Structure 1
């Protein structure tokens, strides 16, 4: 099958790069797409902006390169599309819970037609045609609460909940969609699929229990749920619960707790760190008592000691200073607004959400960042009496390095044309 990749050149704020370059599940999005489609496609064409689809009479899969999809979704889409023998386009019903709650808010990539929203994923059995039929795939969501809170922070039940799907498709138009792809459609969905398989597959259940008994561990700690790479050094006093994937060359210190995470290669997690429902990129350093909850940290970044990140997205090569706190909840019950795909502030549809820091940033110690605030790539923020609370989005022009005597020493690869601010 021929694979045709459509460009999504719009840059994602605050990173300043296209979605295909951002890391999802600790992989660049374009590599994640390529690996999931490897068993179906033998050739590929990557179109340039404005270039038309190749007019070839052959089986073809066409998709936009800002789409995140998992194995369950793409396998089901191709299988069902092939059964129809007709041209098909991925679609969602407006009331589908996971799509309505998590994919649609802040998005700009979907095309609406009444109660149906179309995504940029097509299957053509004999080349491109105009009348592709909508392919509505049940994402099989389950409502999962992640902690119990007072009712003034949530709905009448007092729970903050996600609609977690078994299979996922999501257009990455906003930094919030990285959070959704990694956490809601990522580590949460992995846990849900494990629980579902444990209930439905007796052989798998016996295998997991047998492995736990053989290793003398609790079920969540056994090697069936905790996958550890090569050359890792893990202190016996560290606690690791699955489903968790740990890469090669990882160090985890005494007293650290890792629960339901994706940990990349060459990550250093020092003593007494708390990492839950998070994705940690290759080469990341977490000094003692760092805390990540439902947070993405991309490759080669550092989150210093006594810093707490909740429901945040942190870019690559970024430093977050000691004792900083990213808040995630408006004390006054006003909707939390975040940047959408057009760089406009819109309702995030999230009662609780943290902030986002771009690539190559340097954030000083003791900062307090309000919910859903963003800090653009290449920014330096030095803690001072005038600036310790970040209550608005910070852009490159606001960076403190512009007014520092040695500010020229700070490299700004994402704003090379603007170094003269």
Structure 2
């Protein structure tokens, strides 16, 4: 019976929403099987070139395969791009002696699924869909997958709903215990109710403009603000003497401390954002992206329906609306506490390990490994 070290390839490059759950799964696999070898697939232009090595995993680059949403000249080049990427991915799978491919969608998932099914490299595939509406790559991968998981119901896949795999630094976060340290780290008022504002790694202009314009009324209401505006943006807010500070930063390196410092968030509703914010029990005002297929609104709905947040459409987010929503929430401890409990109730703190066991089961079915 084969007892060589387990080799797992994760495919989830491009955005943090694809990479972070892949890395959380990698961490869980290593906890269950310390001898396992995990290799990440990515592209030269994705965030994975920074995030993957920082977490201690090997990264192999493959040509990206962006899937056009509409008919265009890019669609004509798609077959060649797929073929080239599948060839390179197949080389990687053979090189690392892969036992299983775990895909999370994105530019490298489709070639990984196809390469894993080819004669000579045939191996089980496990798919995880993060969004409320599955993408094309995961729809293709799910057709012949050994197991399919989803973060939320209604993805369009025949999937086991397990939640989003998250870092243990998030799922084990004790916000109350870290609050004093977190507020000191960012230079926030230690006692004032605090609003966290972030629009993803690049920020969000509509969030930046609306909240910055509400800075005066928020300060006069005794509310502090921690605002990550994005590295390419700026926020110019005049301090209000004697009131809690408005702290603006380009990027949050320590999201765990940002969550701990905050009592309420205003944020987008990408799948990863919703999963993290709900997992730590942080009430939120979700502002879905105004374009795309509406999946961001669908991502936030389960949390909102349970009472853990509210949805405000991007076009409706004005300074007046921010003040109208935020001030009553942050001055009502009882309502915030109820929202926090509701938000945490929708989370899945053990999704990383659940998915890891699904992966190990898929491998055991082909090579007889014990978990």
Q: Give the TM-score normalised by the residue count of structure 2.
A: 0.32
Q: Relative contact order (C-alpha < 8 Å, sep 6+): which is higher?
A: 2
Whose helix proportion is higher, 1 or 2? 2
